[in-house]
Amino acid sequence: MEPRWSSVSIAIGAVLILGGCAGTGLERTATDEIDKGTPGNISPLPTGAVIDYQLGGAYTPADGVGGVARDSTAAPAGSLYSICYVNGFQTQPADRDAWLADRPDLVLQGNGKPIIDENWPDELILDASTDDKRQRIAVEIATTLDLCAAAGFDAIEIDNLDSYTRSDGRLDQDGAMALATLYVEHAHAAGLAIAQKNSVELGSRGRDEAGFDFAVAEECYRYDECALYREVWGDHFVDIEYTDDLRGTFGEVCADEQVPASTILRDRDLTTPSDPQYHFAACPLD
């Protein structure tokens, strides 16, 4: 299944400095390892709360909103539950050149050229095909996870877990799961919950093997996947439907017993309220 949204995320500030920064990662050696740990003082997803999906730009949440998802370059939303978006399996547009210049072997290659995500052609797919490469990728991305923790976020949304489906057969689900496990271990060590993004085809593997704490689904009603998420996650998942491809009415979405209580309707570009395309609604409808 192709990814349904992505955003630009650049590691910000000189937080937790261990050396010079390049892109979203610190300059470290291949022998470095990310921190591992068991869940400590982690704040779980507040099930049933309205979670506003603000990846296109941060703004003051509407009354009744209990949490937000924001890009890692943004600040958390005060006392509201705040989820930090991180692209863990593909490069961010602003970091493309740095990955190609400093760590080209970590970018997936095909016929001598980097393999891109055709839906997001300025994103390169990371090569998670070996344990060594997964460890090195995880070290780079861990810098952004640490920035999220230092900024005060409660959780991580790690995107493009399904990049192996766009790899022309060069990557597989097992490799993606192994890299996801490294991210989960580091997030937990940093005191962060971490969400599986989409990838309903994993079944319970994301929860049971990688250790994800909850899921962020896009368009599970549109694609008739909500029951599959609920079977694994119960009430511990969020769903975002989009105005440009909505199946039926949003009232019908909210009336479906399989959609999570934390279901919202957004415009596809996730704009801010100052944009005429902005749209936000949440279940249950008044």
Q: Taking a C-beta distance cutoff of 8 angstroms, is the pair 65, 278 a contact?
A: no
On the question of pLDDT at 31 being above 60, the answer is no
Binning pLDDT at 50, 70 and 90, where does residue 24 land?
A: very low
CATH class in words for 21-282: alpha beta
3-state SS class at 166? helix
- Specify burial of residue 121 (Cβ count, 10 A radius: 0-12, 13-18, 19+): exposed
Give the model confidence (pLDDT) of 124-151 as tens digits: 999 999 999 999 999 999 999 999 999 9
DSSP label of 37: -
Give the model confidence (pLDDT) of 11-21 as tens digits: 333 333 223 33
- Rounded average pLDDT over 239-263: 98
Give the model confidence (pLDDT) of 228-247 as tens digits: 999 999 999 999 999 999 99
* pLDDT, position 201: 97
* pLDDT, position 59: 98
Binning pLDDT at 50, 70 and 90, where does residue 120 land?
A: confident
Give the model confidence (pLDDT) of 54-99 as tens digits: 999 999 999 999 999 999 999 999 999 999 999 999 998 899 999 9
- The residue extents of the domains of the chain are 21-282
Residue type, 21: C
* pLDDT, position 214: 98
Residue type, 164: Y
Mean pLDDT, all residues of the chain: 89
| Strand order across the 155-159 sheet | 50-53, 65-71, 81-87, 155-159, 193-197, 214-218, 237-242, 263-266, 280-282
CA distance 69 to 262: 12
On the question of pLDDT at 216 being above 50, the answer is yes
Binning pLDDT at 50, 70 and 90, where does residue 51 land?
A: very high
* pLDDT, position 196: 99
Give the model confidence (pLDDT) of 155-164 as tens digits: 999 999 999 9
* pLDDT, position 286: 59
* pLDDT, position 4: 52
In the chain, % of residues over pLDDT 90: 80
Binning pLDDT at 50, 70 and 90, where does residue 41 land?
A: confident
- Rounded average pLDDT over 268-286: 94
